[in-house]
Amino acid sequence: MYTNQRINALGNRKYLAFSLVFLPFVFWLSWYTYSGNSWTPSLPFSCRFQYAIEKREEIPEERKYVDHFRKDGSYLDHLLEIRLPRMNYSQPETMNPPRRDILVMTPWFAPIVWDGTFNIDILNQQFKQRNVRIGLTVFAIKKYVVFIQLFLETAEKFFMVGHKVNYYIMTDRPKDVPNVTLAEGRKVVVLEIQSYARWQDVSMRRMEMISLFAKEQFIQEVDFLVCVDVDMRFSDHVGVEILSDIFGTLHPAFYRGQRQQFTYERRPASQAYIAYIEGDFYYAGGFFGGTVDEVYKLTNQCHNAIMTDKANSIEALWHDESHLNKYFLNHKPTKILSPEYLWDNSMGVPEVLRKRRFVAVPKNHVQIRN
Ligand code: 5GW
Ligand code: MN
């Protein structure tokens, strides 16, 4: 009976004309009306409210007020206004995963970020609404200042475009930091630090410096820290898809390997010791990050382990990288970046690598390190 009614309706020309002309108009009108920013009915109020907070947050002394506001009950009501705008994108398909050639999730439910697994428009909306501020820390000690220019120029093209970014350049040669034109909402902060005679110490002391500045400065200025090598160039998109409480990156030389083959520190006397029957992945020392809280925990703990080793006259095989790997064994990262995010062209370009986002700049080892 229900079916008959439908057939009758469709057979009636008046109904058909009505449907063809009027219904698309109604649909168009409603889309047009709502497609701007949001479905939120009280949008003008909530926007002005949020704007006021953002402005105050930019003045360091006002931070206290903002923190108080966040604890205040009215902040909870403010949260109710936050939602995604309507968006057009292809549907995720339960029975048709975008990638079948690689692992996209760890057994502890941390996503592994590969090209094709994320929708950057959704993520950008989410992080924009949080007004996220990102700090990119990089060390350029002695001759490594020559890498800063290309690093910054390519970061402007590919790193967190459209978001707020502070570049924290830690160097013993502040005068050699080049002037690079930056987009709005982005700035370079030069932090003068001492140099160390041994390159192993230059590399390892990064943990100490990041933890010190996290406590003194970064916690006031940014939400997330991204800590990377400077002898690199960005060559494709690196955005908010990498952000999570604490994240590491699969080392380009070991992402296919067995745990026994990883170059973990194998001497039990070292704080970085990992047994042959342990370990999930081999993480690269040149790309990790997370919230300032989590990066403080990581760098502080790695620095302490390095100092304990030093007191015991032992130095881990791959220095800070060995300690990073030990930390991630006991504190699983909440997100993992594929080697797209730290590639070296001397490894070739395997089929599984659809993008090379952050790539090592070839260096003359003899010239740059002496
Ligand atoms: C110098 C000699 C040997 C190894 C490292 C250095 C060195 C490293 C240096 O003189 N100055 C310096 O700032 N670094 C920092 O440590 C850079 O941020 C560099 O990207 C990072 C790690 O050292 P790399 O990049 O030479 O290590 P690999 O394993 O990527 O080649
Ligand atoms: Mn490097």
Ligand 1 within 6 A of 242 CB?
no
The count of structural domains within the chain is 2
pLDDT at residue 18, rounded to an integer: 59
pLDDT tens figures, 20-72: 666 666 555 444 434 333 333 223 233 334 444 555 566 666 666 666 667 77
Q: How many Å apart are CA 364 and CA 356, to the nearest integer?
A: 22
pLDDT at 247 over 90: yes
Ligand 1 within 6 A of 321 CB?
no
pLDDT at residue 58, rounded to an integer: 62
Ligand 1 within 6 A of 199 CB?
yes
Is 54 or 300 the better-scoring residue by pLDDT?
300
Residue 253 lies in a domain: yes
Residue 261 lies in a domain: yes
Residue 77 lies in a domain: no
Range of the domain at 302: 112-369
Catalytic residue status for 93: no
Same domain, 325 and 213: yes
Amino acid identity, position 319:
H
CATH number at residue 186: 3.90.550.10
Residue to mutate, 170, 231, 249, ligand 1, most ligand atoms under 8 Å from C-beta? 231
Window from 40-49, 206-215, 225-234 with minimum mean pLDDT: 40-49
pLDDT tens figures, 353-370: 999 999 999 998 888 876
C-alpha distances (whole Å) from 175 to each of 108, 137, 202, 343 are: 46, 18, 19, 30
Same domain, 122 and 5: no
Ligand 1 within 6 A of 233 CB?
no
Q: How many Å apart are CA 144 and CA 66, to the nearest integer?
A: 39
Gyration radius of the chain over CA positions = 25
Same domain, 152 and 294: yes
Same domain, 164 and 293: yes
Put simply, whether the predicted model's pTM sits higher than 0.75 gets the answer yes
Q: Which residues surround ligand 2, an ion (CB under 5 A)?
A: 229, 231
The angle formed by the CA atoms of residues 315, 318 and 320, to the nearest 5 degrees, is 80
pLDDT at 328 over 70: yes
pLDDT at residue 79, rounded to an integer: 84
pLDDT at 141 over 80: yes
Residue 64 lies in a domain: no
Same domain, 14 and 118: no
| Alpha carbon nearest to ligand 1 atom 3, residue | 199
Residue 180 lies in a domain: yes
142 C-alpha to center of ligand 1: Å? Answer: 10
Residue 48 lies in a domain: no
Ligand with minimal distance to 139 CA:
1
β-pair type (224-228, 232-234):
unpaired
134 C-alpha to center of ligand 1: Å? Answer: 23
343 C-alpha to center of ligand 2: Å? Answer: 10
Ligand with minimal distance to 147 CA:
1
Is 334 annotated as ligand-binding?
Answer: no
Mean of the per-residue pLDDT values for the chain? 88
- Closest C-alpha to 233, from 80, 104, 341: 341
Residue 263 lies in a domain: yes
Q: How many Å apart are CA 302 and CA 285, to the nearest integer?
A: 12
Residue 83 lies in a domain: no
Residue to mutate, 167, 202, 210, 364, ligand 1, most ligand atoms under 8 Å from C-beta? 202
